[in-house]
C-alpha cells in the first residue's frame, strides 16, 4: 500500500523563502545605511564648504569696512581698538576720519563705530540674505553689552539649502576681531573662526614721494611704492623715471654671463606679459625665443636671472653654486668645493635673505636646513630682487610717453609678488598709495620714545635682553 506524503516540499520551501527574505531585508538595511551615511558625508562637506565661504566673505567685508577708518596715531592699543569698534572715541584719541564707501551709500547710519559700519552694510546694502528661522527677522543685531554683531543667514545659491551665519566680536582687552562662520546644510552645521588683528601699517617695505633707485647687491623684502611722476615736470627721459633697478648679476662675468643676461633682458621687454621680469617656458607668449642658455635651470617653472647665474657657475651639475665650503660643512654638506667667488657680498646677501624660511618666527637650524646661510646658492633661497610687488601713482602711458621707452627698460631683476597679487601696478589711487608727511608719525615717535624708556634693559649675559637672547640659543660678543 503506497502512502502519500502531501506537502513535504512546503516546509523546506518556506525555510528557503524565510532565508531569502532575511538576506533581502539585511541587504536593504545595509543599502539604506550606506545611503544615509553618504547623505551625511555630503551634508558635512557642504556645511564645511559653506562655513569656509562665509569666513572668506566675512574677512573681506571686515577689511573693506576697517580700511575706511583713517587715524593719525601710529599704534592701536586695546583701548583705541575698543573705541574704534564701538564708535566712542573723543578728540583726545587723535584725528579719526571715516571715509565714505566706494560703491554704496548708507541712508541712515546706525553709529560711527566699525561694528556699526558692518551692521549697516549687511542690513541696508546687501540683498542676498534670507531668514532661515523666525528669530532671524531681528537680525542684524549688536549685543548691547559685548558689542558683538550677528547678521542674517546668507545663502550660497538660490535654493537656500546651504547657507552661513556670521558673527563679529572684538576680543575683550585686545586688538583682535573674532569672525565666526557657521555653515549649515541639510541640518548639519560646521563652525569656523578666525582672528583679525586691528592694526595700522603701511603696506610697503619702501614707499617714497621721490624716485626710487636700487643698484646691485640690493634685495627688498616687501612691496615698493612711489608717487613720483604725478606732479608736473617730474617725468623726464634722462633723470625723471620713477623707478630704476639694476641687475645683481650683470657685470659678474663679462665674457659669458653678461651676454646671456642681455639676451634675456631683450626677451623680457618683448614677451613679459605680467611685469615680473621673469619668463614662463610653458606660456604661449613668454616662452617665445627661449632655449639654449635661457632655460629653467632650478626647475621652478620660471626663467629669471638666477637661472642664468646658476647655469653659468654650477660646475658639477647639482643645480647649486657653492660660495663658502666651510659654511656648507657647518650646515651639514661636507665635501663641497667653491664654485663662485666673484662677489661674496652678493652671494651672502642671497643666501641670508628671508632668514625665517619656515615662518615660525624664529631663525634657527631648521631654517638652515631650508637653505638659509648654508654657504650654497640654489633654488631653496628663492631669490628675488624684490620679494613683493611694485606700485606707482603714475600711469604706464605717462611714464613711457615721457621716457620714450618701455618702463621695464630701466627695471631689471625679478619681482616676485604674493599669490594673487599683480607684480606691477600703475595709476594707484590715494587710498592705495597715500602721500606721506612727517606729521603723520608725530604720535608714533612719542610712543616709541616712551616704549624705549620703559622696555627691558640691554643687560649682560646674566640679565636683560642679552641674557634672554643667550637663553634662546643666541651668542653675545662684548664690545672691545
Does some domain include residue 354? yes
Q: Report d(CA 121, CA 101) in Å as an integer.
A: 10
The confidence score (pLDDT) of residue 71 equals 87
- Across 46-79, b (16+ Cβ under 10 Å) vs e yields bbbbbbebbbebbbebbeebbeebebbbbebeee
Asked if residue 371 and residue 419 are part of one domain, the reply reads yes
The confidence score (pLDDT) of residue 461 equals 84
Radius of gyration of the chain (CA): 32
For residues 258 and 93, the model is more confident at 258
Stretch among 22-31, 54-63, 125-134, 434-443 having the lowest mean pLDDT: 22-31
Does some domain include residue 184? yes
Does some domain include residue 230? yes
User: Of 145, 180, 197, at which residue does a domain stop?
Assistant: 197
pTM: 0.66
The confidence score (pLDDT) of residue 426 equals 95
The confidence score (pLDDT) of residue 354 equals 92
pLDDT band per the 50, 70, 90 thresholds, residue 273: very high
Q: Are strands 206-208 and 176-185 parallel, antiparallel or unpaired?
A: unpaired
Helix or strand or coil: residue 116? helix
For residues 459 and 170, the model is more confident at 170
By C-alpha distance, which of 324, 410, 77, 359 is closest to 221?
359
Q: Report d(CA 221, CA 397) in Å as an integer.
A: 28
pLDDT band per the 50, 70, 90 thresholds, residue 179: very high
Does some domain include residue 445? no
By C-alpha distance, which of 432, 382, 431, 396 is closest to 243?
396
Asked if residue 86 and residue 67 are part of one domain, the reply reads yes
Mean pLDDT, rounded, for 142-148: 94
Does some domain include residue 449? no
pLDDT at 392 over 80: yes
Stretch among 34-38, 257-261, 382-386 having the lowest mean pLDDT: 34-38
71 pairs with which residues across the strands? 96
pLDDT at 170 over 70: yes
70 pairs with which residues across the strands? 97
Q: Report d(CA 208, CA 198) in Å as an integer.
A: 25
Q: State pLDDT tens for residues 189-233.
A: 899 999 999 988 777 899 899 999 999 999 999 999 999 999 888
Split into its structural domains, the chain has a count of 2
Asked if residue 144 and residue 254 are part of one domain, the reply reads no
pLDDT at 342 over 90: yes
Mean pLDDT, rounded, for 371-398: 95
The confidence score (pLDDT) of residue 123 equals 86
Q: Report d(CA 195, CA 179) in Å as an integer.
A: 6
Mean pLDDT, rounded, for 413-423: 91
Does some domain include residue 450? no
- What is the extent of the structural domain holding 176? 38-197
Amino acid at each position: 500500500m503506497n502512502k502519500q506524503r502531501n506537502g513535504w516540499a512546503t516546509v523546506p520551501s518556506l525555510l528557503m523563502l524565510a532565508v531569502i527574505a532575511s538576506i533581502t531585508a539585511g541587504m536593504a538595511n545595509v543599502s539604506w545605511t550606506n545611503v544615509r551615511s553618504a547623505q551625511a558625508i555630503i551634508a558635512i562637506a557642504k556645511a564645511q564648504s559653506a562655513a569656509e565661504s562665509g569666513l572668506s566673505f566675512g574677512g573681506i567685508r571686515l577689511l573693506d569696512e576697517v580700511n575706511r577708518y583713517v587715524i593719525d596715531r601710529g599704534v592701536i592699543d586695546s583701548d583705541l581698538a575698543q573705541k574704534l569698534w564701538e564708535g566712542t572715541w573723543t578728540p583726545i584719541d587723535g584725528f579719526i576720519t571715516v571715509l565714505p564707501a566706494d560703491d554704496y551709500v548708507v541712508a541712515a547710519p546706525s553709529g560711527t563705530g566699525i561694528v556699526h559700519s558692518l551692521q549697516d552694510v549687511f542690513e541696508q546694502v546687501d540683498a542676498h540674505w534670507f531668514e532661515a528661522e523666525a528669530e532671524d527677522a531681528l537680525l542684524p543685531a549688536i549685543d548691547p553689552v559685548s558689542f558683538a554683531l550677528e547678521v542674517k543667514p546668507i545663502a550660497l545659491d538660490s535654493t537656500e539649502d546651504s547657507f552661513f551665519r556670521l558673527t563679529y566680536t572684538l576680543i575683550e582687552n585686545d586688538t583682535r576681531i573674532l569672525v565666526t562662520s557657521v555653515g549649515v546644510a541639510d541640518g548639519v552645521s560646521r563652525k569656523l573662526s578666525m582672528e583679525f588683528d586691528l592694526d595700522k601699517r603701511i603696506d610697503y617695505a619702501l614707499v617714497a614721494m621721490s624716485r626710487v633707485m636700487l643698484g646691485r647687491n640690493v634685495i627688498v623684502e616687501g612691496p615698493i611704492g612711489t608717487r613720483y611722476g604725478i606732479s608736473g615736470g617730474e617725468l623726464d627721459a634722462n633723470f625723471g623715471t620713477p623707478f630704476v633697478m639694476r641687475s645683481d648679476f650683470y657685470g659678474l662675468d663679462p665674457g659669458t654671463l653678461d651676454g646671456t643676461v642681455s639676451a634675456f633682458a631683450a626677451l623680457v621687454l618683448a614677451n613679459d606679459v605680467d611685469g615680473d621680469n621673469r619668463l614662463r617656458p610653458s606660456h604661449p607668449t613668454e616662452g617665445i625665443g627661449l632655449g639654449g642658455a635661457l632655460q629653467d635651470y632650478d626647475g621652478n617653472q620660471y626663467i629669471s636671472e638666477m637661472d642664468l647665474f646658476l647655469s653659468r657657475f654650477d660646475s658639477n651639475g647639482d643645480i647649486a653654486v657653492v660660495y663658502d665650503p666651510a659654511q656648507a660643512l657647518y650646515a651639514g654638506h661636507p665635501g663641497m668645493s667653491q664654485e663662485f667667488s666673484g662677489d661674496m657680498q652678493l652671494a651672502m646677501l642671497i643666501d641670508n635673505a628671508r632668514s625665517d624660511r619656515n615662518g615660525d618666527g624664529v631663525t634657527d637650524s631648521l631654517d638652515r636646513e631650508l637653505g638659509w646661510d648654508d654657504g650654497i646658492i640654489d633654488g631653496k633661497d628663492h631669490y628675488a630682487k624684490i620679494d613683493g610687488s611694485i606700485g606707482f601713482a603714475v600711469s604706464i602711458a605717462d611714464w613711457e610717453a615721457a621716457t620714450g621707452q618701455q618702463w621695464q627698460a630701466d627695471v631689471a631683476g625679478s619681482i616676485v609678488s604674493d599669490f594673487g597679487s599683480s607684480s606691477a601696478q600703475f595709476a594707484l589711487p590715494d587710498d592705495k598709495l597715500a602721500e606721506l608727511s612727517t606729521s603723520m608719525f608725530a604720535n608714533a615717535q612719542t610712543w616709541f620714545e616712551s616704549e624705549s624708556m620703559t622696555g627691558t634693559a640691554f643687560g649682560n649675559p646674566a640679565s636683560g635682553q642679552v641674557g634672554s637672547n643667550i637663553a634662546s640659543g643666541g651668542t653675545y660678543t662684548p664690545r672691545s
